[in-house]
Structure 1
């Protein structure tokens, strides 16, 4: 098992149990104790874990901001972004909605469309969409990241491989012209990439505070997505470096 896969597995166990023991990880993952120590140290440096004697625990300040906090932050900007994102969606199309508070706003904006198929890994989006008439809802399988209502894992990725969508709307923790679209939680990376592969057009929706910064793990290069929709609440330095992909709501 390569380092990235091993660390994703350690994070998965931390999300479930809140604590991992280094000796048990060494036995179960088939690597020596020094390798596990390096993995745990790397996760601690990235803010995703806290080292303890003999192991690690989930970071006291979680790497994913809880949904209730995200939902209240920059709400006006997120509504404007969602309205711009929903404009080009036509009746009868298939739309993938990534987990997040901005994509939840897109779900609200899509309520007036007819005959949509919506695919999501977000339980809150799924719950809301289930109340809409004339919408076909598909929710990925997978394992729940409770604080953000997100389904992740191999089953979620495999689920998406069976479908083709017209649109995929993805959130992002950070956007940088060199690092590209990045995310704090590595467990979400495979399903975000699967969403991009499954859609004819991939759109990143992110407020302007996300620009010019980098998070831990790369989702995609700027040129791998069709468009980035943001707001004008704050200026984006080096806007030209992002190419023609940025659209302001």
Structure 2
């Protein structure tokens, strides 16, 4: 399985740069990173083989997108920001807490940041989260049953909604595909929204974890508003209009900038 540990920092930064700019040439990347074009070509070969980038005339670009990005690609994009967000959330979690985790790469990285905690109770439909939590002997891990969704390694559907509705947890942790200009939370599938809403309804406080690339990112299934949560944890401030909405709603904004 492709993860966050089998690529270099430079390769991760290349992926972020191309995702942001839409295209980069081999020569431009070599100049930017101070390495030879041969080194850059090896980096690009590795990233292209994993579907993170694709070659085009004179350089590389993001793969054609239909729906959400592949999980392996999302695991490395904006990774520094996601790790910073995860550390900020970990500081909010007490030993012995009960937590519900939804799908997505940022919740997975939050779980990885909690390994120094003790006696956490984890409830999730995200097998990446469950695996990370299972490495901690003092954690109690409960997972939803049902059909596994390939690629994302998560479980969705009515049984998952009932699963989260069976528990009352201290903290719910979830991400979204995008946040519209009016604060509407967006995802790509109705079942993703249903699972997230079930966590929100059955936690004492909800943490929305997202890097700033999610603001304005389009997706077509609506589900709740950014002001519904207790805290938004992000690497950069939300757009001004959303910041005012959050302030009026009394929603905390926890900022933690990522560093490469």
Q: Do the two structures share a fold, i.e. TM-score over 0.5?
A: yes
2:111 corresponds to which residue?
Answer: 107
2:78 corresponds to which residue?
Answer: 74
Q: Secondary structure at the match of 1:168?
A: strand
CA–CA distance in 2 between the matches of 1:95 and 1:86? 12
CA–CA distance in 2 between the matches of 1:240 and 1:214? 19
Shift in Å, 1:177 = 4.8
Shift in Å, 1:196 = 0.5
Shift in Å, 1:239 = 4.4
Per-residue CA deviation, residues 75-99 of structure 1 (Å, 9 max, x unaligned), is 0000000111111110111011111
Query: Measured at CA, do residues 241 and 177 of structure 1 come closer, stay the same or move farther in structure 2, by a change above 3 Å?
Result: farther
Unpaired stretches in structure 2, ≥5 consecutive residues? 1-63
CA–CA distance in 2 between the matches of 1:137 and 1:224? 26
Matched, 1:236 2:243: no
Matched, 1:247 2:254: yes
Q: Secondary structure at the match of 2:103?
A: coil
Query: Measured at CA, do residues 155 and 74 of structure 1 come closer, stay the same or move farther in structure 2, by a change above 3 Å?
Result: same
Query: Measured at CA, do residues 62 and 127 of structure 1 come closer, stay the same or move farther in structure 2, by a change above 3 Å?
Result: farther
Shift in Å, 1:222 = 2.2
Query: Measured at CA, do residues 206 and 146 of structure 1 come closer, stay the same or move farther in structure 2, by a change above 3 Å?
Result: same
1:219 corresponds to which residue?
Answer: 223
Matched, 1:156 2:153: no
1:91 corresponds to which residue?
Answer: 95
Query: Measured at CA, do residues 242 and 210 of structure 1 come closer, stay the same or move farther in structure 2, by a change above 3 Å?
Result: farther
- Count the aligned residue pairs: 189
Shift in Å, 1:238 = 3.1
Unpaired stretches in structure 1, ≥5 consecutive residues? 1-59
CA–CA distance in 2 between the matches of 1:238 and 1:161? 33
